Structure 1
Amino acid sequence: MEDSKRAIGLLDSGVGGLTVAREIFKLLPEEDIIYYGDTLHLPYGPKDLDLVREYVEKIINYLIYKKKVKAVVIACNTATSAALDYVQNKFEIPIFGMIKSAAAKAVKISNRQKIAVIGTEGTVNSLAYQNAILKFNSRADLYAEACPKFVELVEEGKFDGAEVERTAQNYLLPLKEAKVDSLILGCTHFPYLSPLLAEIMGDDVTLINPAHEMAVEVKDTLTKIELLKKDITGNAEHKFIVSDKSRISRRFLEHGRRFLGLEVLNFKEENIFS
């Protein structure tokens, strides 16, 4: 098969990375997507980063050699922190991570350079976003908050309601008190909660979705190296695969399908770790 006709591979610890897939659908509607969610090992956030890197390497091997993808998007901030540099050096195809483009966007749009990041424990403790932002502006005033409960809520299909609002208020209060002016949603699960997070933070705070910045980077890079699909007359084909189907809630399937704008959201189980 001609390289440009191959699919783009995405990987995440669960269904959160579908927010990245959504942005790629919008920006590159002609491209085929193969999505792999490692629900068997969800969540990645609290896990040792060396272990996360092992999972990521195995999934990328599967996407490249079994599914023949032309590029891989690590649609997970924790996995990007743990493995991006390692896998970019190991594999020859383009591999994209979540952090750099969003950090650049935050510095570009932040009026007072009071920038906050919310993410999993792994992402926040790795300092990946903080270090990336400081490379663009060494004087930026940075704040970070780990929000692990958000991952659980989204995986359960809970995007709003009293429990979600209460959790968000608790996590975001320190950032509101610090009067930040931009907030990076540093976990791919968090854009599902964007309406509520925006309401709590207020009009003076700009939310930055790394998924959108990632999609722009993928389009620009694949255009430059001539890997975008040339024949765009047919419909794109999207495949959604997980390592443990039993861990996807019915509620997520219902809400996630609407969020993603898909008529049907079906997952196939392929446990590549057994």
Structure 2
Amino acid sequence: MSLAARPQPPASASPVGVFDSGVGGLSVLGALRAELPRERFVYFADTAHAPYGERGDAYVTEHSRRVVDTLVREHGIKALVVACNTATTAAIHVMRAENPELPIVGLEPAIKPAVAGSATGHVSVLATRGTLASAKYAALRHTFPHPERIRSVPCDGLVAAIERLDELAIDQLCAHYMALAGPFGGDAGETDTVVLGCTHYPLLQDRLRRHAPSAVRFLDSGVPVALQTRRLLAAAGLLQERARPLDDAWVALRSSGDAAVLQSAAARWLGLRPSDLLPDRPQASTA
């Protein structure tokens, strides 16, 4: 059973909930806003309990359940996007079991399109240690004929550096992990595709590209997740397409930690201005 009873069933005017352990899911929020420009969104960053990618499944599940409860109970969301690979692998089955009426979209690293489009058959996956150590990731990797050609690169410390906007650490870690992801190229045995398996990493795509030939492809899950969210909303009769003017499609930012950090990140990574945001209200917490 969910942590709290759901309020009245949501209508098409209700917001879509999006959550991550920090600011990384803003990359998914950007894709959602591009695909669904008339929808309202509530983004929750569980920064007080981050990073999820370096925690165990029980810890991630507990805090994911609390975030979902807050979004359902306080915001009456009509759908949920779990914009966190770690939370998806550790807890999405629990979220779906406890909220069977709620359309829930999770993430997984974009390995399938990476392998399908690779000329060399060698791809590298940059992700958190939690994602790469999960049974779900192992099962996904072994659905392909040559799993040994999928190089897994755990990027310890990169999420934390992004969260604290540590420019020097970000540059150093990008160089280090891209070196581990290579060698790059179009010849046999070389990697020609990089999968960004954490929602934080697309925010750094330009920096990561500096360490690979221009022909190397970078893939993430933002657009596929946005398309799947559209499909689920349409199937449930909850899609907001023409009933609201574009300037009424707001974003609310919520954080279990420092709200100013999230607001600064939203301005930096998505260009969100104060006029794009829901007026201030008390910050939700999962503490």
CA contact (8 A) 2:10 2:76 kept: no
Q: Partner of 1:134 in structure 2?
A: 142
Could you say if the C-alpha distance between residues 103 and 88 of structure 1 is closer, same or farther in structure 2, counting changes exceeding 3 Å?
farther
Could you say if the C-alpha distance between residues 189 and 261 of structure 1 is closer, same or farther in structure 2, counting changes exceeding 3 Å?
same
Q: Partner of 2:230 in structure 1?
A: 219
Deviation, 1:181, is 1.7
CA contact (8 A) 1:107 1:133 kept: no
Deviation, 1:254, is 4.4
Identify the match of residue 168 of structure 1 among 174, 193, 197.
174
Range that drifts further, 22-31 or 124-133: 124-133
2:45 aligned with 1:37, yes or no?
Answer: yes
Q: Residues 156-178 of structure 1, C-alpha deviation per residue, up to 9 Å, x if partnerless?
A: 224xx554322212112122126
Q: Residues 14-66 of structure 1, C-alpha deviation per residue, up to 9 Å, x if partnerless?
A: 11111111111111110000111111101111111111011111111221222
After the TM superposition, which segments of 4 or more aligned residues of structure 1 sit over 6 Å from their partners? none
Q: Which has the larger radius of gyration?
A: 2
SS at match of 1:20: helix
CA contact (8 A) 2:85 2:198 kept: yes
1:174 is matched by which residue type in structure 2? Answer: L
Q: Partner of 1:193 in structure 2?
A: 204
Q: How many correspondences in the alignment? A: 266
Ranges in structure 2 where 5+ consecutive residues have no aligned partner: 1-8, 184-188
The 5 Å alignment of 1:39-188 reads: 39-92=47-100, 93-99=102-108, 102-135=110-143, 137-140=144-147, 141-158=149-166, 162-177=168-183, 179-188=190-199
Q: Partner of 1:232 in structure 2?
A: 244
Structure 1 CA distance, aligned partners of 2:216 and 2:26? 25
User: With structure 2 as the length reference, what TM-score do the two structures score?
Assistant: 0.84
Counting aligned pairs with the same residue, the percent is 27
Higher helix share: 1
CA contact (8 A) 1:120 1:146 kept: yes
Identify the match of residue 19 of structure 1 among 21, 24, 27.
27
Could you say if the C-alpha distance between residues 162 and 55 of structure 1 is closer, same or farther in structure 2, counting changes exceeding 3 Å?
closer
Range that drifts further, 184-193 or 253-262: 253-262
User: With structure 1 as the length reference, what TM-score do the two structures score?
Assistant: 0.88
1:190 is matched by which residue type in structure 2? Answer: Y
